Amino acid sequence: MVTKGTAQTETAECPDCGETITLQGPIRIGRRVTCPNCEADLEIVETIPVELDWYYEEETDEDEDEDDSW
């Protein structure tokens, strides 16, 4: 980790293309990022060391209820 004042800079590898991504700002689980190389939609899943995984939107119960209403 590199710190400059209060700014935080970390690097992590894109799980899709393997590109090294430089992350600046708060490093927290759940933060969404986009790979500048392949434009994969990612999120931080670990902070020590920083690890990225694909971002998946979770379905809500409301979506499931709509299917049963016919």
63 in a structural domain? no
32 in a structural domain? yes
pLDDT in tens, 3-34: 555 568 999 999 999 999 999 999 999 999 99
Domain count along the chain: 1
Domain coverage including residue 25: 2-56
67 in a structural domain? no
15 in a structural domain? yes
48/33 Cα distance (integer angstroms) = 17
31 burial class (0-12, 13-18, 19+ CB within 10 angstroms)?
A: middle
66 in a structural domain? no
10 in a structural domain? yes
14 in a structural domain? yes
| More confident of the two residues 61 and 37 | 37
Q: pLDDT grade, residue 58 (50/70/90)?
A: confident
Q: What CATH number is associated with residue 7?
A: 2.20.28.160
Q: pLDDT grade, residue 57 (50/70/90)?
A: confident
Considering the entire predicted model, what is its pTM?
A: 0.70
